[in-house]
Structure 1
């Protein structure tokens, strides 16, 4: 938390001192790139904030989940509710970011006559703590010690790792216990599931970026109020806030009765539902972009992206409906899956994989855009995703490409999910 505060101080200083600010933009598409000390100050501030928030996010979910008694069905149900509302609170924090913060920034820009800046906001961290913990740390540690005592022989899963126990190690520092080998097996087993969520986060990055540009060309008025395009992520945030209680209090109780199982919907099933919803989100995004460009063509504004199109930005809400639902299902499901499957000593590390998936997905999105532009820009053809006029982009083709990649990703996820065997007594099935 201290690092996050220091990073915000650095960013505040840069925003305050004129000599550290970038040059003003003539237009949104013709901004001068910063370099040298200005860029260094910006990135130092951002990375210090990221370092601080990363430490918080990596431990919050695991800390909260450990407050429940996982040895009882009721405790496991309440733990599932916690992870669901953990994501709910992330969305509540993001709602403040994309409404209050963005509107304040827009007001300041208006008051001081500065150019508007589009800011893409991703749901940030929030805290929710159970009010009635059922089990203390001591009981969990005693249970762990008992499990270690009962583990005398390596399992038959990933047999090649058993050599670390069966044979004399080259050096004493490489000597492993049965428990350590089994812990490594568990981590290796969850990695394919973790990797399968990266493409979904890549889709999140694309929609949270290009959708803002799309909305900037559309009618963003809500009655007499003009909504800043940067507030567009409010749609998935609101959908998460609405859907989370419905899922926990209506869908899950019904699923438990229908399946006659403790969880109703298993962790892997929940992640799979989210991946399917992300496929639908990209398909809907492609269809909406076709409609937007048709309106631009019919209005004679295809070559002029500076004029507002006679189409409401609420069309973008359809793709965010599925996007927000996908985020809720996959993120909450992945957090609980990693927490419940990981060794107790590695739970914070395991749940941190959820945020690693987010980071990798956003980096991968930049790589995919670069590859697409490099590939489609050959032979004097215009790249799909570059230029000053978004109406000349082939954004719909790019969305279909992401839809196909998401579909292929889902197929490989099914392969790993079907093969996966839960730990314990099958409480997640």
Structure 2
């Protein structure tokens, strides 16, 4: 009976045996990865929007320092996804990476729960808004107990981000036309699963953190990640798993740059066929292990210049891979280099998103949070507005809008990934402009009621916190376009050897945006130190005395400039698959 089963090339089951289409992978297996990712988001996203409050009110850091600590933490989560992806591809495999990362997250959250529970492990209670009080900030061993688990949590979160999405895509065969179409749908469903987890985090977990205590909040997060891991492990017998290559694709790309530099004085042959390449095996060609030469970034072709005019069957023993590379290696390096401008232009959007998770939450703390006369909505939960919109729109976009747009454009995904990202960038500009206008109104209310010097948390302004929903709502739509657009772009354009690592380019872009936020905040405070009464636009704990509106306008202007740079970069970009429908529509 087993002889009739269809083998999935390049994939194995959890015991290292050949994977079969009838027994492994498919929609049911990918669903388990979506559920796991949703529980991971439930465990972590509450920290992304509420950790500033924890640093500020419990650990007694100043507002700007608390915001920077959050952006540093979030940046680390995303940046570390690249080395975690390399580790998954060359050593552990994606499944082991997910399991180890989940266990690390669980232990880190347990340690944070213990610190939040015992008063001796955190600074004494005090009023941080009273200038006469000398509040003790976290330090010494307690600081270590805070930051070591926090950054262990960042490592675990990076591992989940690096390995889980590509593992979900592994459940479909790229060479099967029917299954290949499901890969694009999987990334849309990944956004839906992420949004459902975020919704639970913003409602249940944030409410528990604010009303029941941070120890209970960390406890619920640890339970969520534990349940997610149980669900993931339950699917082991059904998964299709990629075969660990043992070779580092990133190193192979670096070899091209080193070899091209070392061969910079050599003359390129007139015929690209004279460049070095191993003999093409018919089966390998069918699997697209080889890439054809393209006349872009010709300086990198010098890495493939061989000393003899004839083509080589195998690499000469005397030649080092740091001196002579194959044409396929060079083309891989060209693909990565051509995507860098797109990558850089998306960093600014993450910079804007960081402000919605830090300063916008602090704005909400100063406003009227009553949903009903007897119920107050926690300001961090305001981000549920765009999340609910994403939950509603993600399936509509995938099942209705994409097929409709496909008929109009002839593009399988409706619009190109770069067009989708461009829409997201435009909406991020609008979001920051709206945020500036809302802040002007909020400060106007504080001025009209003589509350500029009032303690923000103890004396909320007579203006509803739902005014902030406008900026959250617009940025939510931006996320719908840009988030999946970037995942699809990096995954589809990257060569076969770099697909798993390429999905982490999105996370790295977001990580750099968070780190850039820290730099921007410090730079703005330093530049405005002598022209404001507070000593800087964003200095101090009283946001009513800050100039957050000017900061938002600055980000909107920077985003506007960034968008025009993005347009220039996309006009120069050539899709690797040379699809005329895509190229003509861009």
For 2:492 and 2:136, locate their aligned partners in 1 and report how far apart those are by CA, in whole Å. 48
Is 1:22 paired with 2:126? no
For 1:374 and 1:399, locate their aligned partners in 2 and report how far apart those are by CA, in whole Å. 17
1:96 is matched with which residue?
200
Specify whether residues 173 and 282 from structure 1 end up closer, same or farther in structure 2 by C-alpha distance, changes over 3 A only.
same
Residue 148 (structure 2) aligned to one of 44, 51, 54: 44
Specify whether residues 182 and 25 from structure 1 end up closer, same or farther in structure 2 by C-alpha distance, changes over 3 A only.
farther
Deviation at 1:272, TM superposition (A): 0.6
Deviation at 1:352, TM superposition (A): 0.9
2:67 is matched with which residue?
none
Deviation at 1:137, TM superposition (A): 6.9
Residue 295 (structure 1) aligned to one of 445, 448, 455: 445
Residue 400 (structure 1) aligned to one of 553, 556, 564: 553
Is 1:85 paired with 2:189? yes
8 A Cα contact 2:361 2:379, kept in partner: yes
Aligned residues: 413
For 1:290 and 1:186, locate their aligned partners in 2 and report how far apart those are by CA, in whole Å. 45
Residue 146 (structure 1) aligned to one of 268, 277, 286: 286
Deviation at 1:200, TM superposition (A): 0.4
Deviation at 1:221, TM superposition (A): 0.6
2:366 is matched with which residue?
217
Deviation at 1:315, TM superposition (A): 0.9
| TM-score of the pair, normalised by structure 1 | 0.87
For 1:274 and 1:356, locate their aligned partners in 2 and report how far apart those are by CA, in whole Å. 17
Deviation at 1:329, TM superposition (A): 1.2
Is 1:155 paired with 2:294? yes
Deviation at 1:339, TM superposition (A): 0.6
Residue 320 (structure 2) aligned to one of 169, 172, 185: 172
Gaps (5+ residues) in structure 1? 118-123
SS in 2 for 1:310: strand
Residue 187 (structure 1) aligned to one of 315, 326, 336: 336
Specify whether residues 46 and 388 from structure 1 end up closer, same or farther in structure 2 by C-alpha distance, changes over 3 A only.
closer
Superposed CA deviations along residues 64-95 of structure 1, whole A, max 9, x for unmatched, are 22333445665444222211110121111111
| TM-score of the pair, normalised by structure 2 | 0.65
Which structure would you say has the larger Rg? 2
Superposed CA deviations along residues 7-28 of structure 1, whole A, max 9, x for unmatched, are 2232233234433223323236
For 2:517 and 2:179, locate their aligned partners in 1 and report how far apart those are by CA, in whole Å. 39
For 1:9 and 1:52, locate their aligned partners in 2 and report how far apart those are by CA, in whole Å. 13
Q: Where has structure 1 moved over 6 Å in runs of 4 or more?
A: 126-130, 135-138
2:496 is matched with which residue?
344
Specify whether residues 425 and 71 from structure 1 end up closer, same or farther in structure 2 by C-alpha distance, changes over 3 A only.
farther
8 A Cα contact 2:367 2:462, kept in partner: yes
Is 1:53 paired with 2:201? no
SS in 2 for 1:222: strand
8 A Cα contact 1:4 1:52, kept in partner: yes
Specify whether residues 162 and 371 from structure 1 end up closer, same or farther in structure 2 by C-alpha distance, changes over 3 A only.
same
1:121 is matched with which residue?
none
Superposed CA deviations along residues 47-80 of structure 1, whole A, max 9, x for unmatched, are 1111122112112222222333445665444222
